[in-house]
Amino acid sequence: MLFLLCSLLLSLMLTPYSLLAQSKPEKSTSKTPDVTAIQTLRSQSNHAIRARDLTAFGQSMLPEIEVTRGSGSHVSSRDSVLASVSVQFKDSAFLGYVRNTDRIEISTTSPLAAEHGRWTGRFQRSDGVQTITGTYLAMWRKTDAGWRIRSELFVSLACKGSAACGK
């Protein structure tokens, strides 16, 4: 009888932990079709920046996207993001942005995914090439049209190559 009581108590104590273990998001180490789709879209977005192709750059975004830039400023809506980026695309000093994915987690409870990574921005300055680096987190939402970016948070962590870094 004591053995049964102890077993029951132990199973009740461990139940919350077993439920947590079952609800872990899917990591990018498992190459699922969803992870592959997001990686492909990120690659296409990086290519669109290199090509300065505004239309292609906007294709991975939801219309209601929210972006917090590396400096902390905020941009709401795809149209506003594209208007801001179009100014950079026209600027010859802008050498580009690259986002490198570290991992992708697919939610098991909603049509969402989290992409974690590192980013680099480069600008030609009179005293050299300014290189800004940092980390980012993107929230992706699965829609009828596929995965689209719902929000992005960029954090600038380092800058080198130009006196412009101190400004």
DSSP string of 57-103, one letter each residue:
HHTTEEEEEEEE-TTS-EEESHHHHHHHHHHHHH-TTEEEEEEEEEE
pLDDT (0 to 100) of residue 25: 47
pLDDT at 28 over 60: no
Residue 166, φ and ψ in degrees, nearest 5 = -80, 0
What are the CA-CA distances from residue 49 to residues 52, 82, 94 (Å)?
5, 11, 10
pLDDT at 117 over 70: yes
What's 25-166's CATH class? alpha beta
Rounded Cα–Cα distance for residues 122 and 137 (Å)? 20
Q: Give the model confidence (pLDDT) of 54-65 as tens digits.
A: 999 999 999 999
Q: Give the model confidence (pLDDT) of 45-90 as tens digits.
A: 999 999 999 999 999 999 999 999 999 999 999 999 999 999 999 9
Residue extents of the structural domains in the chain: 25-166
Torsion over CA: 132, 160, 87, 52 (sign)? negative
pLDDT at 120 over 90: yes
pLDDT at 112 over 90: yes
Tokens 């994915």 — which residue? 101
Q: Which two tokens stand for residue 92?
A: 């010859």
Helix (H, G, I), strand (E, B), or coil: what is residue 153?
A: strand
> Do 66 and 74 meet the contact criterion of CB atoms below 8 Å apart?
yes
Rounded Cα–Cα distance for residues 162 and 61 (Å)? 32
pLDDT (0 to 100) of residue 152: 98
What are the CA-CA distances from residue 152 to residues 34, 102, 121, 137, 161 (Å)?
18, 15, 15, 6, 26
